[in-house]
Amino acid sequence: MDHNQDIQKLRDLMKDVRMCMFTTIDNDGSLRSRPMALQQAEFDGDLWFFTGKGTEKTGEVRRHSEVNVSFAQPDDNKYVSISGKGIMVDDRAKAKELWNPAYKAWFPKGLDDPDLTLLKVNVEKAEYWDSPGGVVTYLVGFVKAMATGKRAEIGDHEKIELTR
Protein backbone atom coordinates (compact mmCIF):
# COMPACT_ATOMS: atom_id res chain seq x y z
CA MET A 1 0.00 0.00 0.00
CA ASP A 2 1.08 3.58 -0.55
CA HIS A 3 1.13 6.26 2.18
CA ASN A 4 -2.43 7.47 1.51
CA GLN A 5 -3.78 3.91 1.52
CA ASP A 6 -1.96 3.23 4.81
CA ILE A 7 -3.55 6.34 6.36
CA GLN A 8 -6.98 5.31 5.06
CA LYS A 9 -6.64 1.75 6.41
CA LEU A 10 -5.70 3.05 9.88
CA ARG A 11 -8.51 5.63 9.70
CA ASP A 12 -11.01 2.86 8.91
CA LEU A 13 -9.76 0.64 11.74
CA MET A 14 -9.80 3.43 14.35
CA LYS A 15 -12.93 5.34 13.31
CA ASP A 16 -15.32 3.75 15.81
CA VAL A 17 -12.87 3.43 18.70
CA ARG A 18 -13.12 6.32 21.15
CA MET A 19 -11.04 4.96 24.02
CA CYS A 20 -7.49 3.76 23.68
CA MET A 21 -4.55 2.90 25.91
CA PHE A 22 -1.87 5.59 25.88
CA THR A 23 1.63 4.45 26.94
CA THR A 24 4.49 6.68 28.05
CA ILE A 25 7.91 6.12 29.61
CA ASP A 26 7.90 6.72 33.38
CA ASN A 27 10.78 8.38 35.28
CA ASP A 28 12.34 5.01 36.08
CA GLY A 29 12.26 3.89 32.42
CA SER A 30 9.27 1.58 32.84
CA LEU A 31 6.27 1.74 30.52
CA ARG A 32 3.08 3.26 31.88
CA SER A 33 -0.35 3.00 30.21
CA ARG A 34 -3.63 4.71 30.91
CA PRO A 35 -6.98 4.94 29.10
CA MET A 36 -7.59 8.12 27.12
CA ALA A 37 -10.30 9.40 24.80
CA LEU A 38 -9.17 10.02 21.23
CA GLN A 39 -10.47 13.28 19.80
CA GLN A 40 -12.96 13.22 16.95
CA ALA A 41 -10.50 14.49 14.35
CA GLU A 42 -10.12 12.92 10.92
CA PHE A 43 -6.94 10.81 11.17
CA ASP A 44 -4.27 12.24 8.87
CA GLY A 45 -1.18 10.76 10.49
CA ASP A 46 -1.55 12.59 13.81
CA LEU A 47 -3.61 11.73 16.90
CA TRP A 48 -4.98 14.39 19.25
CA PHE A 49 -5.83 14.26 22.95
CA PHE A 50 -6.88 16.79 25.59
CA THR A 51 -4.88 16.64 28.81
CA GLY A 52 -3.90 18.75 31.77
CA LYS A 53 -0.66 20.70 31.79
CA GLY A 54 0.20 19.44 35.28
CA THR A 55 -0.41 15.72 34.76
CA GLU A 56 2.26 13.07 35.17
CA LYS A 57 1.59 12.04 31.58
CA THR A 58 2.49 15.53 30.34
CA GLY A 59 5.77 15.45 32.24
CA GLU A 60 6.56 11.98 30.94
CA VAL A 61 5.93 13.05 27.33
CA ARG A 62 8.15 16.12 27.79
CA ARG A 63 11.01 13.96 29.14
CA HIS A 64 10.58 11.04 26.71
CA SER A 65 8.54 11.86 23.63
CA GLU A 66 8.28 8.22 22.50
CA VAL A 67 4.71 7.00 23.05
CA ASN A 68 2.45 4.13 22.05
CA VAL A 69 -1.29 4.22 21.53
CA SER A 70 -3.26 0.98 21.22
CA PHE A 71 -6.82 0.44 20.07
CA ALA A 72 -8.93 -2.70 20.38
CA GLN A 73 -12.31 -3.77 19.09
CA PRO A 74 -12.38 -7.43 20.17
CA ASP A 75 -15.96 -7.98 18.99
CA ASP A 76 -14.81 -7.16 15.44
CA ASN A 77 -11.30 -8.66 15.76
CA LYS A 78 -9.67 -5.28 15.00
CA TYR A 79 -6.50 -4.17 16.77
CA VAL A 80 -4.11 -1.28 16.13
CA SER A 81 -0.83 -0.37 17.81
CA ILE A 82 0.67 3.03 17.00
CA SER A 83 4.06 4.41 18.00
CA GLY A 84 5.27 7.92 17.53
CA LYS A 85 6.41 11.15 19.13
CA GLY A 86 4.22 12.97 21.63
CA ILE A 87 4.26 16.77 21.59
CA MET A 88 2.49 19.16 23.95
CA VAL A 89 0.61 21.81 21.93
CA ASP A 90 -0.99 25.00 23.26
CA ASP A 91 -3.22 25.91 20.33
CA ARG A 92 -6.60 27.40 21.28
CA ALA A 93 -7.89 27.29 17.68
CA LYS A 94 -7.18 23.54 17.45
CA ALA A 95 -8.63 22.99 20.93
CA LYS A 96 -11.81 24.81 19.85
CA GLU A 97 -12.00 22.65 16.71
CA LEU A 98 -11.77 19.45 18.80
CA TRP A 99 -13.80 20.60 21.83
CA ASN A 100 -16.86 18.76 23.09
CA PRO A 101 -18.92 20.16 25.99
CA ALA A 102 -18.58 16.80 27.79
CA TYR A 103 -14.92 17.65 28.43
CA LYS A 104 -16.06 20.19 31.03
CA ALA A 105 -16.08 17.25 33.46
CA TRP A 106 -12.25 17.37 33.30
CA PHE A 107 -11.82 21.03 32.42
CA PRO A 108 -14.54 22.94 34.35
CA LYS A 109 -13.67 26.29 32.77
CA GLY A 110 -13.99 24.82 29.28
CA LEU A 111 -11.64 26.16 26.64
CA ASP A 112 -10.58 28.90 29.06
CA ASP A 113 -9.32 26.37 31.61
CA PRO A 114 -5.69 27.31 32.33
CA ASP A 115 -4.77 23.62 32.79
CA LEU A 116 -6.06 22.62 29.33
CA THR A 117 -3.52 21.64 26.70
CA LEU A 118 -3.38 19.33 23.69
CA LEU A 119 -1.21 16.28 23.30
CA LYS A 120 -0.42 15.53 19.66
CA VAL A 121 1.08 12.23 18.57
CA ASN A 122 3.02 12.32 15.30
CA VAL A 123 2.52 8.73 14.17
CA GLU A 124 5.71 7.09 12.93
CA LYS A 125 4.82 3.40 12.86
CA ALA A 126 1.66 1.36 13.13
CA GLU A 127 0.78 -2.28 13.19
CA TYR A 128 -2.69 -3.70 12.78
CA TRP A 129 -4.57 -6.96 12.91
CA ASP A 130 -7.92 -7.05 11.14
CA SER A 131 -10.27 -9.95 10.56
CA PRO A 132 -13.00 -8.32 8.46
CA GLY A 133 -15.38 -11.26 8.78
CA GLY A 134 -15.35 -10.92 12.55
CA VAL A 135 -16.00 -13.92 14.75
CA VAL A 136 -17.13 -16.19 11.89
CA THR A 137 -13.90 -15.70 9.94
CA TYR A 138 -11.89 -16.20 13.12
CA LEU A 139 -13.68 -19.46 13.96
CA VAL A 140 -13.37 -20.81 10.40
CA GLY A 141 -9.63 -20.04 10.39
CA PHE A 142 -9.22 -21.62 13.82
CA VAL A 143 -11.08 -24.82 12.83
CA LYS A 144 -9.13 -25.04 9.56
CA ALA A 145 -5.83 -24.72 11.44
CA MET A 146 -6.86 -27.40 13.91
CA ALA A 147 -7.92 -29.75 11.09
CA THR A 148 -4.80 -29.23 8.96
CA GLY A 149 -2.23 -28.88 11.72
CA LYS A 150 -1.04 -25.61 10.15
CA ARG A 151 -0.84 -22.18 11.76
CA ALA A 152 -4.08 -20.21 11.62
CA GLU A 153 -4.20 -17.47 8.98
CA ILE A 154 -6.97 -15.20 10.15
CA GLY A 155 -7.43 -11.78 8.57
CA ASP A 156 -4.88 -9.11 7.72
CA HIS A 157 -1.74 -8.16 9.63
CA GLU A 158 0.55 -5.37 8.48
CA LYS A 159 3.32 -3.13 9.75
CA ILE A 160 3.24 0.42 8.40
CA GLU A 161 5.94 3.13 8.35
CA LEU A 162 4.46 6.62 8.39
CA THR A 163 7.53 8.75 8.97
CA ARG A 164 7.32 11.92 6.97
Boundaries of domain holding 11: 3-161
User: Can you state the percent helix, strand and coil of the chain, rounding each to 5?
Assistant: 30, 40, 30
Position 139 scores a pLDDT of: 62
Instruction: For the chain, give the number of residues.
Output: 164
Give the tens place of pLDDT for each residue, 34-43: 999 988 777 8
Lowest mean pLDDT among 9-13, 21-25, 66-70, 153-157: 153-157
Nearest CA to 84 among 160, 5, 8? 160
Give the tens place of pLDDT for each residue, 54-110: 999 999 999 999 999 999 988 888 899 999 999 999 999 999 999 999 999 999 999
β-strand pairing of 156-161 with 116-130: antiparallel
What percent of the chain has pLDDT above 90? 57
CATH of the domain at 16: 2.30.110.10
CB contact burial 73-87 (16+ within 10 A = b; e otherwise): eeebbbbbbbbbebe
pTM: 0.82
pLDDT at 137 over 70: no
Query: How many domains are contained in the chain?
Result: 1
